[in-house]
Chain A
């Protein structure tokens, strides 16, 4: 029997989680983009061997270990070392660093697609290498890499579901709590799935639009 009042109640609870899901997604996305871009820039432009080696170690470690294990290490490991993070903070940090490793490769191909003259022209007018990165390279690299960035963002939104494992209060966390207290397993997970879809569908449309615009621009 379908209970409308209960469905509305579940939806309201899950919505609280959805707000957190969006926050974690955005936080992690920003960290992933910044970290990924800096790592890619080091790989592409740095002449310092040690820096390159450190970037490679970072990328390989984060690519080679399952996300859940990394989250546990960041959350429980840091707690063990005396750094107690909020679950949501650990989630943003963990997903952000995992994403940074993924986006390093994405940005690197973007940087390779940029003509070297773009950077040289920036240096020639007196920009420092950092200014060139910020004002000239970064805006162009993000545009070139928009399609993969977009699909990464959508994937990230869905992947935030794993952070319920460290009790970050997002959609899946509330869903599991509701299931434990009401045993309405099917209804609750359908509602949760619906919420993810409602969040990711517009995002997918925006990415499509941007992609079309970008094709006109290049």
Chain B
């Protein structure tokens, strides 16, 4: 088994005329944590969404654990796989969205259990036991029967994290998981993500929380206008950025 869990190979993504990703390549080792920072509109979410093929790259390829995501190779050509195959890949990647997107017609434990039950075909009892375990992991064992509308934003996001964990994913993607939260609720969510990082999980984290990125990330990528401007260990990118664009972005961030 190779060390490389995720490989993004020269991904370009355009929406009609607008080229949002202009050739992104990146590798993530098993157990590694990558933080992606960058100004609004630089393509961070789009990049994250191409990893599990919620956005289909205009060109370029994604490999998870050595296998092509969303495509297969027939002789020399790359062709799209079926929705079924694609779903099987997505099941290996947990994703946490800025807007939580819990399903309001299901309570907390049902939100977490439905994946194991319907996607992985685990029995109902086992799925609910697993869901309860995952909710305990995000410190919500006392809220398992609550509906999303009755949970705070921080609690909702933690249920969403539990939902992703219940996939028992190889890789976790976080897209600004705390940006939609009131400031006093940010801490509880970051704490949970920190605990997951400490377990040695592989993750890609898009965030504006520079302090947090610095604590958990092994590598920080700075993106601007669809390209990776620079990357390196957090100390280097945050303290001794090489590129003027990185410097400008960081100084603007800290002036707030």
Contacts and interface: CB of A to CB of B under 8 A. Distances in A.
B103 A140 contact: yes
Interface in B83-107: 83-84, 87-95, 97, 99, 101-105
Those 9 A-B pairs whose CB atoms lie nearest each other, nearest first: A126-B91, A121-B101, A117-B101, A124-B95, A125-B115, A126-B119, A128-B87, A126-B90, A139-B105
Contacts of B164: 124-125
A135 B103 CA distance: 10
Contacts, number: 71
B242 interface: no
A129 B92 CA distance: 17
Interface in A129-170: 129, 131, 135-136, 139-140, 143
Interface of B: 52, 54, 83-84, 87-95, 97, 99, 101-105, 114-115, 118-120, 149, 160, 163-164, 167
Contacts of B91: 125-126
A217 interface: yes
A114 to B, nearest CB: 10
B51 to A, nearest CB: 11
A121 B97 contact: yes
Contact of B118 (A124, A135, A217): A135
Given A117-B97, A131-B119, A217-B149, A123 B103 contact: no
Nearest to B103: A136
Contacts of A121: 95, 97, 101-103, 160, 163
23 contacts: A115-B101, A118-B101, A121-B97, A121-B103, A121-B160, A124-B94, A124-B95, A124-B97, A125-B90, A125-B94, A125-B115, A125-B163, A125-B167, A126-B87, A126-B92, A126-B119, A126-B120, A127-B119, A128-B83, A128-B84, A131-B118, A135-B114, A217-B149
A124 B119 contact: no
Interface residues of A, number: 21
A60 interface: no
Given A124-B95, A125-B91, A140-B105, 15 more contacts: A118-B101, A118-B103, A121-B102, A121-B160, A124-B54, A124-B94, A125-B90, A125-B167, A126-B88, A126-B90, A126-B120, A129-B83, A135-B118, A139-B105, A143-B105
A127 B115 CA distance: 8
Interface in A203-218: 217-218
B164 to A, nearest CB: 7
Contacts of A140: 103-105
A86 interface: no
Contacts of B114: 135
B101 A125 contact: no
A217 B105 CA distance: 8
A139 B89 CA distance: 26
A127 B92 CA distance: 11
A136 B115 CA distance: 11
B104 A217 contact: yes
Contacts of A218: 104
A126 B115 contact: yes
